[in-house]
């Protein structure tokens, strides 16, 4: 395991190594992404296994499955001058990142950066499940600015809620549902 950070206020932890990506290189990318999103406070990043992401997902979101990235925003600071404030934490599954990078034909280091950007957007308050495409548009804009190949949202199939599926079937009975 390796880590970087100053006085505990920004930390990058690699529980698994990534070819072509050091903690200092990732910290530089996190700083660039954070500034591009206009997120003032530092961000902590954990690069770990699917097993640990599954445990975190189960504990904090009630979903007993591994996922590629989780974001944990810090609670609002009670005092403006609070020391060592962080915007939040981002946890990434290196196992899923490796699978995605093979499937998409780009380096694992690139995939980790894509996931970090996605997580930072969530820390900045974006929510692709509720914002009618605002986060997807911002991710696309920032991906280009940060020279990343493809964004997470644009390559993920749209999830349609079951109530919307039922409403769509009622208004168009010939339409097949998934």
Query: Residue 6: its pLDDT value, please?
Result: 42
pLDDT, tens digit, for every residue of 83-119?
A: 667 899 999 999 999 999 999 888 999 999 999 999 9
CATH number of the domain encompassing residue 149: 3.40.390.30
Range of the domain at 10: 2-75+85-171
pTM of the model: 0.77
For residue 80, being part of any structural domain is answered with: no
Compute the distance between CA of residue 81 and CA of residue 88 in angstroms, rounded to an integer: 17
Using a pLDDT cut of 90, give the percent of the chain over it. Answer: 52
Asked if residue 177 has pLDDT above 70, the reply is no
Q: Could you report the per-residue pLDDT of 40-92, keeping only the tens digit for each? A: 899 999 999 999 999 999 999 999 999 999 999 988 766 555 566 789 999 99
Instruction: Answer whether residue 176 is part of any domain.
Output: no
The angle subtended at Cα 66 by Cα 60 and Cα 67, nearest 5°, is 85
pLDDT at residue number 88: 94
Question: Structurally, how many domains does the chain consist of?
Answer: 1
Q: How many helices (H) and strands (E) does the chain have?
A: 7, 5
Residue 14 domain-assigned (yes or no): yes
Residue 38 lies in a domain: yes
Tell me if 178 is assigned to some domain: no
- Is position 159 within any domain? yes
Q: Is residue 116 part of a domain?
A: yes
Which two three-digit tokens encode residue 33?
A: 């992404």
């Amino acid at each position: 395991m390796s880590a970087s950070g100053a006085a505990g206020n920004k930390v990058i932890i690699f529980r698994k190594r990534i070819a072509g990506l050091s903690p200092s290189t990732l910290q530089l990318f996190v700083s660039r992404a954070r500034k591009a999103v206009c997120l003032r406070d530092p961000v902590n990043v954990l690069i770990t296994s699917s097993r640990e992401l599954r445990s975190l997902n189960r504990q904090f979101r009630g979903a007993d499955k591994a996922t590629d990235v989780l974001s944990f925003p810090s609670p609002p600071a009670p005092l403006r001058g609070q020391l060592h404030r962080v915007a939040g934490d981002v946890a990434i599954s290196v196992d899923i990142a490796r699978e995605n990078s093979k499937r998409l034909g780009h380096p694992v280091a690139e995939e980790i950066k894509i996931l970090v950007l996605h997580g930072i957007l969530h820390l900045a308050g974006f929510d692709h499940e509720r914002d009618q495409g605002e986060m997807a548009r911002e991710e696309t804009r920032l991906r280009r600015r940060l020279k990343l190949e493809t964004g997470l949202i644009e390559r993920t199939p749209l999830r349609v809620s079951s109530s919307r599926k039922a409403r769509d079937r009622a208004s168009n009975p010939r339409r097949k549902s998934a």
